[in-house]
Amino acid sequence: MDRTQRMLAGVLAAQILILGLLQLVFPTSRAAVKEQPLVPALASMTPQKVEVADGTGASVALDRAGGAWALESPKGYPATASKVEKLIQDIEHLSAGRPVVSNRKNHAALKVADTEFERRIRIFEKAGGKPVAELFLGTSPRYQTSHVRLGGKDPVYEASGLSAYDVPADPGSWVERNVVPVAADSVSGIGISNHKGSFELAKKDGRWSVRMPAAKAKVSLDAQKVESLVRTLCGMSLDAPAGPESEASYGLAAPEATVVLTHAPAASDSAAAPGGALVLRIGAPVPGKEGDRYAARSGFEYAVTIPKYSVDRAVDATLEDLVAKPSAPAAPAAAKPPAGKAPGPKK
């Protein structure tokens, strides 16, 4: 080994020694950046209330009541418990290591400021107390990762497992959206009454027939049109939950349309309504939402609002719309010339 090689080897050994000493004096091991739960308090408490707000002013509050979850407004409207519990679990599992920024001047740019945020989540141990946790969800630096800040603290972290998209701030996203809990293929009868008249249909052995008015009992129905109507009615989704169905302004005492669906019992493991008849009433228009109407179903004490495209079929349906059109008569066959004679020339 010549002199130059010995010098280079010595320099390399010195660099390795210096790096080792720096590791001892300024440790940067995994332990120094080990991720910790962002909200450790959730592991030892049972939340009684959750609030979600977005940056536009929309918000929703959910209360635990008797082991179930319900909206705070309209008060008592049943919420989907699994959605609320999943949010709480997702927050409990959030963890972060070293903050990406610690200066509050950066909060607004990352959408985690007190007044500029994508989502603000508050969790309460007592419904009437102060929140035990406040979390701001902000921008997403990459897929499935969000900037997160705890209320009252300046550091901002990158955390995976929760984004603003996963935490809606409208009440309709926290409740069962299906208005009619009846499977379309279980419907064996349908009755509709609206401003254009009334009719009833029955299904037997896979065939639809008119039950009322009796004078139309022998009218042939277009099965595809009837099935399409049934699927539309069974597929109605709410726009937003409303208050008690007895509210006079909803117009449900004198509905614009009434739908009666007769159906078979649901399977024992299904969340659908039990067998029998389900009555759906379509009421007054929703102020400020053109075409939307209030609606309520039997067996459920709250009203909902339904978008125009869903209610139009019920409000405007007529029996004539479902009658099968007669087939067009077949064109007469061309006359054949007498045997042994060729057709004459055209004149």
pLDDT of residue 341: 59
pLDDT of residue 6: 63
- Structural domains of the chain sorted by starting position, each given as residue range(s) with its CATH number in brackets: 33-174 (no CATH), 184-322 (2.60.40)
pLDDT of residue 308: 86
pLDDT per residue over 7-49, tens digit each? 655 655 565 556 555 555 545 444 456 778 888 888 888 999 9
pLDDT of residue 255: 95
Decide if 123 contacts 49 (C-beta within 8 A). Answer: yes
What are the residues facing 210 on neighbouring strands?
A: 201
d(CA 108, CA 113): 5
**Amino acid (1-letter code) at residue 185:** D
Backbone torsions φ then ψ of 123, nearest 5 degrees: -120, 130
Identify the segments of the chain with pLDDT beneath 50.
26, 28-31, 268-270
d(CA 91, CA 96): 12
Instruction: Of 112, 127, 94, give the one whose Cα is nearest residue 55.
Output: 112
d(CA 212, CA 173): 39
pLDDT of residue 268: 47
pLDDT of residue 315: 92
CB under 8 A, 24+ apart: contacts of 184-188? 184/227, 184/230, 184/231, 184/234, 184/235, 186/263, 186/264, 186/266, 186/272, 187/230, 187/234, 187/261, 187/262, 187/263, 188/262, 188/263, 188/264
pLDDT of residue 30: 42
pLDDT of residue 275: 59
Phi/psi class of residue 276: alpha, beta or left (left: φ > 0; alpha: ψ in -120 to 50)? left
pLDDT of residue 340: 61
Distance, C-alpha 102 to centroid of its chain:
36
